[in-house]
Every structure is written in structure tokens, then in C-alpha cells.
Amino acid sequence: MLRSYQYTEKPYPEDTFQGRLFRDKQVEIARRFVEGHPVRRDMKGSCPLCGRSGEYFCSKWRVDYLCCPNCKSVFAVYEDSAVKEYQENPDLLELRTSEAYQGEISHNRQDTWDEFLEWVEVRAFRFMGRNRNLDIVDYGNRYEGYVERIRKSPICGGYALKGSILPQNGDVSRADMVLYLDRMQQEMQPDRRISELRGYLKERGLLILSTRAGSGFDIVTLKEKNSRIYPYEHILLPSVRGLVSFLEENGFEILEITTPGVMDVKYVLDSKDRLDDRENFVRYLLEESSQAMLQEFQRFLQKGCLSSFVCVIARKR
């Protein structure tokens, strides 16, 4: 397994992904939904990745999050029916499919999408020996501009969009590559989903997976004070270790893993006044370090796979 590292000073994609207005609207819809529905407070839950009973991590909007003592993944305690209802919430779907929302996403992210597809192109050639006219299944993509970018990319031959709030299109039954980007954090049954994705792949096909990581610095440090993590948008935050073991146990060989996020330190710095009283070291680090030192600390997080955004390339065994 290759642990990849390439530092960039560019903002972490989420920061330019959508304007503050749309982000705030989504958070407000989620908060109203959670506050209007009963929540489980029994503290009972098993890690969706390894099956161990979880221990208390934090609570947000009365929803408890547990941390697996074995693999360190973080996951919410919830009723399946509530999460399913949230994911089908008409207000949320209307916002995310609106022309204004989709237009802003495309405007803000087109360069980042192109850069990511170039990154995928290089990896496809490295691990498959070819990077043109691949049959691609794109699972969960909810951005019209991103769909268009992928379809027009030279790596793409056949294309199928599945599991999306957008109209499903394309006819690829067996793919050279499956893209599963930023969707795992919403999975109630990740084992079933990974089995489904594996079924789409040809033998030795590639899975490109990205997700928020529960082992990341800003998530572990800020816990419920992290404004970008909230129920029921985020119900599973796998650790890097847990994700690797989970994929290996479900028929994949890990080829490359990286945590390329560059905003962990900034997120914590922005919430410095809200840090838990026990986070004395982190507070001291933020108060006493120069900008150059904080950038170096972010590099350390990337090198150690300790950032809160993880990308994995895995091959079907």
C-alpha cells in the first residue's frame, strides 16, 4: 500500500465548494429536522466497520456520536427510519437540485474537479496500465457540473450515474472504475454498499473512494463544535485504519491512501475560543505558533494521514 503525500497551499475543496448561504441553509434544514424528531439516547451502537461496541464521543443536537475503541471510527446513534426520512427530505432535495445551488457549485469547483480527474488519470495509468475510454460507474454524485466533467474527460468511455438525487443515466453494468466520492459519511449499511460497488467492477477494477475521516485532527479536536459535521448529514466518519481494514475484509486490495486536506488547522483555529478546556496543548499551539509553523503542522497531518479528508484507491480482488 502506498501512502501518498503531495502538499498544496490551495484551500481544502469544501471551503470553496459552496457559498456560506447554501451551507447555512443546509445546516438549518438539518437542525430543524433533527429537533423535530425523536432521537435515540440509549448509547447502544456497534461500529459499522468492525462491529465493536462504541464509546461516547460527543453529542450534537441531542444526537450521540460514539467512537470505536478498536478502529477509532466515529458514528452516530440513530433510528434508521429517521435517517432515511432525512435523506428524502423534500426541502433538502429541492435546495440541492435547484438551478442556483447547482450553478454555484459548478462555478466554484470546476477547476478542482478538473484537477481531481487529472489525478485519477495518472493513478489509472499507474495501476491499470491505461487511462483512456474506461467504463465508469459514478455512485452518489449529486452535482450536474461534475457529471458533465467526468463524461467529457478523456478517461471516460462508458458512463453510468447511480445512487444520485439527479436523474440516473448511462448503461454500464461492469466498470473499469467506480467513483464513490464524499458519500460514505451518509451510509447506514456500508458493508452492503461496498458489496454493491464491488459488484459493478470488472476483475481487478479500481474503486476511487473519498470521505471525511473520523481520525482527522479537526474532528477529534473540535468534536461537536465542528460546524461542518452534523446529524444526519454525517452518520459515519471512518478512521483511516478502520477504512483500510474494512475494504480489505470486503474484497479489495489497498493501492494508495492519502489525506490531502489542508484546512484542518484553519477549522480549529477559527473555533479556538470554543475549544474544550482539556485541549491545552492545541490552544497553546495555535496561540504561540507562527503562520509558517501552522502550515508545517498541517503538512505533518497530511504526511501522517491525520487530516480529516481521506482518499483511497483500491483494487477489486
What fold does the segment set 2-316 form as a domain? Rossmann fold (3.40.50)
What does residue 208 show for φ and ψ, rounded to 5 degrees?
A: -105, 110
Three-class secondary structure assignment of 94-128: HHHHCHHHHHHHHHHHHHHHHHHHHHHHHHHHHHH
pLDDT surpassing 80 at residue 262? yes
Query: pLDDT-based confidence at 13, cuts 50/70/90?
Result: very low
> What are the sequence ranges of the domains in the chain?
2-316
Query: pLDDT-based confidence at 136, cuts 50/70/90?
Result: very high
Query: pLDDT-based confidence at 173, cuts 50/70/90?
Result: confident
pTM for the complete prediction?
Answer: 0.91
pLDDT in tens, 20-31: 789 999 999 999
| Percentage of the chain lying above the pLDDT 70 cut | 94
Residue 16, pLDDT score: 44
Mean pLDDT of 223-227: 94
Q: What is the dihedral of CA 85, 91, 94, 97, to 10 degrees?
A: -70
pLDDT surpassing 80 at residue 148? yes
Residue 14, pLDDT score: 43
In whole angstroms, what separates CA 120 from the centre of its chain?
17
Residue 4, pLDDT score: 55
- Output the average pLDDT for the chain: 92
